[in-house]
Amino acid sequence: MSIKKVGKVWSFRIDAGIDERTGKRKQVYRSGFKTKREAIEEMNRLMNGEYSEPSKTLFKDYIQSWLYDTHRHEVQNPSFEVGETIVRVHLIPYFQSIPLSKITAYDIDQLYTQKLNDGLANATVKKIHNLLSKALQKAVKWGLIKNNPAKDASPPSIHKTPKQIWSLEEAKTFLEICERENTLIPFLLAIFTGMRRGEILALRWKNVDLDKGVIHVEESLARTKTNGLFAKEVKTSHSRRDVYLSDSIREALAKYREHQKSNKLGLVIASKAGGYLEPRNLIRKFKALTKKANVPDIPFHNLRHTHATILMRMGENPKVVSERLGHARVGITLDIYSHTNEEMQKKTANRFDDRFWT
């Protein structure tokens, strides 16, 4: 152990044990400290067991190993393919052959800046951040690096804006057009149950109990490069849920089933060939019907938001709405529909005021 001043800076050298591969003594050298005190503090930190040999593993080697050997077995195929694209298109070209241990929060922030300047959306860059942070956290757990630099990076924030939805009258007008065009059921389910597009397109009659008036949501339609379209189990235990139906929806489904051509998969919504309906075809039809009904052009997913918002404005218990949508926590529902919650708060305040003074 030695400490000395070289020019205007202080430096030190300490023993770091024996190299297991060579059997020779290892030493750690640090320099660049402005004061002797700073050098001593850093030297004591390393001598107290906080020193670890920096990994020589290259980022590109590590990220591919993590992706295919670990991440692939932790997520479903569609999520894995998204991760594979992020690694191949964004992460490896940027970090290339930089040693894993040399990557800093500054490097990561520079990546985010570059991607934003290239025109990527904040939400896309945030996905890059989440995957990178997950990979680096595993490297920390495996002892390849000491800290996760992504934790100190600053991914872009995602600005939440109120979801564009339809009014009751607009939803009614749209469904009238759907019925006239004989394409009612998928859109009726979206507006009256709040089910996701993939859940509707994977729904089988065996999971529809018309006697009890309930849909058992168990599957969702997915797509991978290798398998094409297929039904997979819904992601979480909360997404696996029972959605109860009103009498009018039960009747509409029963009438539809009587006239539906049978299909080999027992699907409620099937293609002409009897297989899964291509989601893009559903969206294409939705856009055409929206235009014909002369209602605001909104994403198909916003039919789910329309369902939830109407329930919230009716004063329905947020917990019931949350369970109907398959959210993990009621807080998620309140956060997404905060604008509607504010309207309810104002109405509650006015009702209290009216009751108090009468």
Helical ranges in the chain per DSSP H: 36-45, 59-69, 77-86, 92-95, 105-117, 122-141, 168-180, 185-193, 197-201, 247-259, 279-293, 302-313, 318-325, 330-336, 338-356
How wide is the angle at C-alpha 130 spanned by C-alphas 125 and 132, nearest 5°?
A: 90
pLDDT in tens, 262-274: 999 999 999 999 9
Coil, strand, or helix at residue 305?
A: helix
Pair 77, 114 in one domain: yes
Q: What pLDDT does 332 receive? A: 78
Q: Looking at residue 84, which CATH number applies to its domain? A: 1.10.150.130
Indicate yes or no: pTM above 0.85. Answer: no
Domain boundary among 104, 126, 152: 152
End-to-end Cα distance, the chain: 85
310 in a domain, yes or no?
yes
Q: What pLDDT does 50 receive? A: 54
314 in a domain, yes or no?
yes
What's the chain's Rg over C-alpha atoms?
29
- Cα 100 from Cα 121, distance rounded (Å): 27
Nearest to 189 by CA among 307, 279, 292: 307
Residue range(s) defining the domain that contains residue 10: 2-50
Pair 181, 114 in one domain: no
Q: What pLDDT does 33 receive? A: 80
Number of domains forming the structure of the chain: 3
pLDDT in tens, 291-326: 999 999 999 999 999 999 888 888 888 899 999 999
Pair 262, 234 in one domain: yes
Pair 305, 190 in one domain: yes
Pair 322, 216 in one domain: yes
Pair 39, 72 in one domain: no
312 in a domain, yes or no?
yes
Q: Looking at residue 288, which CATH number applies to its domain? A: 1.10.443.10
Pair 183, 289 in one domain: yes
Q: In the chain, how many H helices and how many E strands?
A: 15, 8
Strand pairing report for 9-18 and 2-6: antiparallel
In the chain, which residues have pLDDT < 50?
none
DSSP-derived secondary structure for 39-54? HHHHHHHIIIII--PP
158 in a domain, yes or no?
no
Pair 315, 222 in one domain: yes
Pair 331, 224 in one domain: yes
CB 39 within 8 A of CB 11: yes
84 in a domain, yes or no?
yes
Domain boundary among 152, 185, 215: 152
Pair 106, 217 in one domain: no
At residue 199, φ and ψ (nearest 5 deg) are -70, -35
Pair 148, 277 in one domain: no
Cα 98 to Cα 57, 91, 94, 109, distances in angstroms: 9, 11, 9, 16
| Amino acid symbol at 7 | G
221 in a domain, yes or no?
yes
315 in a domain, yes or no?
yes
Pair 339, 247 in one domain: yes
